[in-house]
Amino acid sequence: MKIEHPYLMFLGDAPDQLAAKTASGIVHWRRDWCLGQFTLPGCNADLGLPHMDIAAAAAAGCRTLVIGVANRGGVIPESWIPTMVAALEAGMDIAAGLHQRVADIEDVSRAAAAQGRQLFDVRHPTRSFNVGSGERRPGKRLLTVGTDCSVGKMYTALAIGHELQRQNVKSDFRATGQTGIFIAGDGVSVDAVVSDFISGATEWLCPANDPDHWDLVEGQGSLFHPSYAGVTMGLVHGAQPDALVVCHEPTRTHMRGLPHQALPDIQTCIDGHVAAARLTNPAAECIGVAVNSSGLSSDAERRRCLSDIEAQTGLPTVDPVIDGVAPLVATLI
Amino acid sequence: MKIEHPYLMFLGDAPDQLAAKTASGIVHWRRDWCLGQFTLPGCNADLGLPHMDIAAAAAAGCRTLVIGVANRGGVIPESWIPTMVAALEAGMDIAAGLHQRVADIEDVSRAAAAQGRQLFDVRHPTRSFNVGSGERRPGKRLLTVGTDCSVGKMYTALAIGHELQRQNVKSDFRATGQTGIFIAGDGVSVDAVVSDFISGATEWLCPANDPDHWDLVEGQGSLFHPSYAGVTMGLVHGAQPDALVVCHEPTRTHMRGLPHQALPDIQTCIDGHVAAARLTNPAAECIGVAVNSSGLSSDAERRRCLSDIEAQTGLPTVDPVIDGVAPLVATLI
């Protein structure tokens, strides 16, 4: 798959800004790909983009209608369908990050077929993969891992990619989740792959490359999260990372969604992920820590948190949003 | 799913005994469930069961036609279809362990619907699962793990189940692969589950039970196999094992299917699996080693191998086929 841009961002009747979290992430990282937003009555989200209807968006050159919004109750409402059909008829593709496939909606799939347009349900893999081989391949790879889910793994990988590009180092961001896929234009939602093929799908995602090229692979889950560690393990083995960056959110009191499950301490988390990575890349090392400090109440607290982690791990430690990632990139090159 | 027995074993035109490996395993562990075998011209496999045609099998009380044979080229040949339809018309269900679903063969699915019979494609999960919660649940669980794939994990779990039953300890074998599912009559082929749900499917498979009841969970893959470690990780976390048994094949020179990948040494393998298991069960311990010594050339060599491993690990070490598993069960109770 290769999702074409520019995008028209569809927000439907999103009840609040949080429901448009995926769309917000896309606009943050790909502002120049996002020409406008389209909302339905009742929408309470706003991406700060010009409002456009389908005709205006098509005239402006939009190639894809992006549905980056959580739908109420998990089911695509009837009220969204005319917009989707109109976009297809205006020559756009549709890319959606919903659990329900847009390709399963009869009116939408019929219109896509009639117009020769593509439907991308990015949560659902559309191709099959081989099982992972574990064979060493050229090219450098960095994987973000975490003490938990939702601690900044995508953001950190993207920020490192930007910093490498600024320094004229060849690199690609490799997306493993829905928001990342919209930002990259392609990728694999690894948690939706059949479990026999997790590492194989990851090998396909970040294949052999030039020896001085970096793939920045978006991490998923954590080896210490009882729900998702299998996904993380396959991702670590398939990525064969030379470098790991551990992401952390210091105010988390338990693993996301599991009130009974404690977080690992950072050194345990580093050691566990490095040990797993060395199965397919004996040279794997953790090169730094990325902290999402937005939950800390003062700058003093933030500085103390980072310096404590730095002292404990001996690794450069930054909040990518506040400090940037130059100290991490410095250890890469 | 609950596959009803007795079984009629279908061997088709299996080119050799190895192609009937699944069927052989079923007969080994469930001889009393297997009333007969049915072969087509060209079949070179033999299970040592009475030959029966469909009418004779139905008259003898067979409830299910079991297709436990690897098919040539991965596709079900036309020549098998009349037998399947005849079995359905005679009132039997069909259970198949093929990659291709028998439910996708139009003549077969039409006959099943017309007769009100069930089709079990045991490699393909037929239900959806929740993500794993990692919450502690009552009941005791033992999981077999391994230094590699195909080193005796199913055999060892079944042998421990037999020994527990002999000692009047309540237990159930929990199947995670196709042969195990035919032997148990149900189970989940965990490597075919979507990767987000590996640990959740395992929690479903071996749920809360009496405090003195043992679930014997069939392991899959190895945390040290780059192709399948994600499956193993989710299985370890979902099983919450109190006890692990490490299975090993001492003549393996590399990980199965991966000539470049070395085997872990046994202590590393024990430590890695125990550390992973302790995330969801802090009391998890490795209680013994099961060696498949069939590749060793003499009894002296076999005895030396077992005593070396016993000295190295400090754990009871047996070949379950030759020695039985009483020394392992002794450490459980």
Indicate whether B110 belongs to any domain: yes
pTM score:
0.95
3-state SS assignment for residue B316:
coil
Cβ pairs bridging A and B (under 8 Å): 127
Indicate whether A133 belongs to any domain: no
What's the rounded Cα separation, in Å, for the pair A298 and B110?
A: 68
Indicate whether A42 belongs to any domain: yes
Is the pLDDT at A105 greater than 80? The verdict is: yes
pLDDT, one tens digit per residue, over B231-273 is: 999 999 999 999 999 999 999 999 999 999 999 999 999 999 9
3-state SS assignment for residue A98:
coil
Q: Determine the Cα angle at A80 with ends A75 and A81, to 5°.
A: 100
Q: Considering B68, B92, B121, which residue would you say is the last residue of a domain?
A: B121
One-character DSSP codes across B123-146? TS--S--PPP-----SSEEEEEEE
My answer on whether B240 and B294 are in the same domain is: yes
Q: Choosing among B137, B195, B269, which should be mutated to test the A contact, i.e. which has the most A CBs within 10 A? A: B195
Tally the domains of chain A: 2
Calculate the alpha carbon distances from A142 to A264, A292, B184 in Å. Answer: 22, 19, 43
- CB-closest option in A230, A235, A238 to B198: A230
Is the pLDDT at B75 greater than 90? The verdict is: no
Shortest Cα–Cα distance, A54 to chain B (Å): 36
Question: Does residue B109 belong to the interface with chain A, where contact is any CB pair within 8 Å?
Answer: no
Question: Does residue B131 belong to the interface with chain A, where contact is any CB pair within 8 Å?
Answer: yes
CATH number of the domain bearing residue A271: 3.40.50.300
Please give the structure tokens belonging to residue A194: 């059949």
Is the pLDDT at B72 greater than 90? The verdict is: no
- CB-closest option in A195, A223, A279 to B224: A279
Helix and strand element counts for chain B (H, E): 12, 11
What's the rounded Cα separation, in Å, for the pair A185 and A107?
A: 25
Question: Does residue B223 belong to the interface with chain A, where contact is any CB pair within 8 Å?
Answer: yes
Residue A34 has a pLDDT of 98
**A226: closest chain B residue by CA:** B134
My answer on whether A21 and A146 are in the same domain is: no
One-character DSSP codes across B159-179? HHHHHHHHTT--EEEE--SHH
Residues of B in contact with A223 (CB under 8 A): 233
Shortest Cα–Cα distance, B249 to chain A (Å): 20
pLDDT, one tens digit per residue, over B115-134 is: 999 999 999 988 899 999 99
Q: Choosing among A123, A196, A268, which should be mutated to test the B contact, i.e. which has the most B CBs within 10 A? A: A196
Output B135 or A125, whichever has higher pLDDT: B135
Shortest Cα–Cα distance, A35 to chain B (Å): 34
Kindly determine whether residue A261 and residue B134, on different chains, have CB atoms separated by under 8 Å: yes
Average pLDDT, chain A: 96
CB atoms within 10 A of CB B181: 24
Indicate whether B15 belongs to any domain: yes
Residues of B in contact with A229 (CB under 8 A): 199, 233-234, 237, 276, 279
Q: Considering B121, B149, B165, which residue would you say is the last residue of a domain?
A: B121
Give the type of residue at B118.
Q
- CB-closest option in A226, A275, A280 to B237: A226
Residue located via tokens 């996002």: A34
Q: Choosing among B123, B176, B205, B227, which should be mutated to test the A contact, i.e. which has the most A CBs within 10 A? A: B227
Residue A70 has a pLDDT of 81
Is the pLDDT at A73 greater than 90? The verdict is: no
Kindly determine whether residue A195 and residue B192, on different chains, have CB atoms separated by under 8 Å: yes
Residues of B in contact with A133 (CB under 8 A): 226-227, 258
**B200: closest chain A residue by CA:** A227
Q: Give the strand pairing for A140-146 and A93-96.
A: unpaired
% of chain A at pLDDT higher than 90: 94
**Residue A3 CA from chain centroid, whole number:** 15
What 8-state DSSP symbol labels residue B219? Answer: P
The per-residue b/e assignment along A283-310, b for 16 or more CB within 10 angstroms, e otherwise, is: ebebbbbbbbbeebeeeeebeebbeebb
Output A71 or A82, whichever has higher pLDDT: A82
The candidate with the shortest Cα–Cα distance to B125, out of B69, B195, B67, B187, is B187
Give me the phi and psi of A48, to 5 degrees please.
Answer: 70, 20
Residues of A in contact with B230 (CB under 8 A): 195, 198-199, 230-235, 237
Is the pLDDT at A271 greater than 80? The verdict is: yes
Shortest Cα–Cα distance, A55 to chain B (Å): 39
Indicate whether A56 belongs to any domain: yes
Kindly determine whether residue B229 and residue A135, on different chains, have CB atoms separated by under 8 Å: no
Question: Does residue B133 belong to the interface with chain A, where contact is any CB pair within 8 Å?
Answer: yes
What 8-state DSSP symbol labels residue A134? Answer: -
Question: Does residue A192 belong to the interface with chain B, where contact is any CB pair within 8 Å?
Answer: yes
Query: For residue B153, what are the contacts with CB-CB under 8 A and spacing of at least 6?
Result: B144, B145, B146, B218, B219, B220, B247
Kindly determine whether residue A280 and residue B199, on different chains, have CB atoms separated by under 8 Å: no
My answer on whether B151 and B48 are in the same domain is: no
My answer on whether A112 and A232 are in the same domain is: no
- CB-closest option in B135, B136, B233 to A233: B233
Domain carrying residue A52: 7-121
Kindly determine whether residue A227 and residue B133, on different chains, have CB atoms separated by under 8 Å: yes
Indicate whether B1 belongs to any domain: no
Kindly determine whether residue A224 and residue B279, on different chains, have CB atoms separated by under 8 Å: yes
Give me the phi and psi of A248, to 5 degrees please.
Answer: -150, 145
End-to-end alpha carbon distance in chain B: 32
What 8-state DSSP symbol labels residue A254? Answer: S
Kindly determine whether residue A226 and residue B191, on different chains, have CB atoms separated by under 8 Å: no
Sheet of strand A7-12, all strands in order from the earlier edge strand to the far edge: A34-39, A7-12, A64-67, A93-96, A119-121
One-character DSSP codes across B197-229? GHHHHHHHHS----TT-EEEEPP-S-TT-TTTH
Residue B16 has a pLDDT of 92
Are the beta carbons of B234 and B279 closer than 8 angstroms? no
CB atoms within 10 A of CB B307: 11
pLDDT band at B74 (very low <50, low <70, confident <90, very high): low
Q: Quote the ipTM score.
A: 0.93
Q: Choosing among B194, B196, B273, which should be mutated to test the A contact, i.e. which has the most A CBs within 10 A? A: B196
pLDDT, one tens digit per residue, over A190-225 is: 999 999 999 999 999 999 999 999 999 999 999 999
My answer on whether A246 and A316 are in the same domain is: yes
Residue located via tokens 């079949």: B43
Indicate whether B299 belongs to any domain: yes
- CB-closest option in B135, B191, B276 to A195: B191
Residue B1 has a pLDDT of 76
Query: For residue B167, what are the contacts with CB-CB under 8 A and spacing of at least 6?
Result: B329, B333
Element containing residue A247 per DSSP (H, E):
strand A243-248
The candidate with the shortest Cα–Cα distance to B320, out of B330, B311, B328, is B328
The per-residue b/e assignment along A224-248, b for 16 or more CB within 10 angstroms, e otherwise, is: bbbbbbbbbbbbbbbbbbbbbbbbb
pLDDT, one tens digit per residue, over A28-64 is: 999 999 999 999 999 999 999 999 999 999 999 999 9
The candidate with the shortest Cα–Cα distance to A217, out of A279, A270, A171, is A171
My answer on whether A175 and A41 are in the same domain is: no
Kindly determine whether residue A134 and residue B190, on different chains, have CB atoms separated by under 8 Å: no
My answer on whether B281 and B324 are in the same domain is: yes
How many residues can be counted in chain B?
333
CATH number of the domain bearing residue A115: 3.40.50.720
Are the beta carbons of B118 and B102 closer than 8 angstroms? no
How many residues can be counted in chain A?
333
pLDDT band at A333 (very low <50, low <70, confident <90, very high): confident
% of chain B at pLDDT higher than 70: 99
Shortest Cα–Cα distance, A201 to chain B (Å): 10
Are the beta carbons of B294 and B321 closer than 8 angstroms? yes
Indicate whether B279 belongs to any domain: yes
Residues of A in contact with B234 (CB under 8 A): 195, 229-231
What's the rounded Cα separation, in Å, for the pair B331 and A226?
A: 27
End-to-end alpha carbon distance in chain A: 32
pLDDT, one tens digit per residue, over B282-309 is: 999 999 999 999 999 999 999 999 999 9
Average pLDDT, chain B: 96
Is the pLDDT at A245 greater than 80? The verdict is: yes
Residues of B in contact with A198 (CB under 8 A): 195, 230-231
Note which residues in 263-292 of chain A have CB less than 8 A from chain B. 272, 275-276, 279-280
Shortest Cα–Cα distance, B123 to chain A (Å): 12
Q: Considering A121, A152, A182, which residue would you say is the last residue of a domain?
A: A121
What's the rounded Cα separation, in Å, for the pair A236 and A241?
A: 7
pLDDT band at A126 (very low <50, low <70, confident <90, very high): confident
What's the rounded Cα separation, in Å, for the pair B130 and B132?
A: 6
Rounded mean pLDDT, B165-173: 97
My answer on whether B26 and B151 are in the same domain is: no
Residues of B in contact with A131 (CB under 8 A): 227-228, 257
Calculate the alpha carbon distances from B313 to B36, B288, B308, B310 in Å. Answer: 44, 9, 9, 5
Rounded mean pLDDT, B16-39: 96
Residue A72 has a pLDDT of 67
Are the beta carbons of B158 and B171 closer than 8 angstroms? no
My answer on whether A12 and A60 are in the same domain is: yes
pLDDT band at A1 (very low <50, low <70, confident <90, very high): confident
Is the pLDDT at A92 greater than 90? The verdict is: yes
Query: For residue B77, what are the contacts with CB-CB under 8 A and spacing of at least 6?
Result: B12, B13, B71
Give the type of residue at B69.
V
My answer on whether B115 and B195 are in the same domain is: no
Kindly determine whether residue A134 and residue B226, on different chains, have CB atoms separated by under 8 Å: yes
My answer on whether B214 and B282 are in the same domain is: yes
Please give the structure tokens belonging to residue A85: 């059909």
Are the beta carbons of B66 and B23 closer than 8 angstroms? yes
What's the rounded Cα separation, in Å, for the pair B155 and B146?
A: 12
Residue B222 has a pLDDT of 98
My answer on whether A245 and A326 are in the same domain is: yes
pLDDT, one tens digit per residue, over A273-331 is: 999 999 999 999 999 999 999 999 999 999 999 999 999 999 999 999 999 999 999 99
Kindly determine whether residue B195 and residue A199, on different chains, have CB atoms separated by under 8 Å: no
The per-residue b/e assignment along A34-46, b for 16 or more CB within 10 angstroms, e otherwise, is: bbbbbbeeebebe
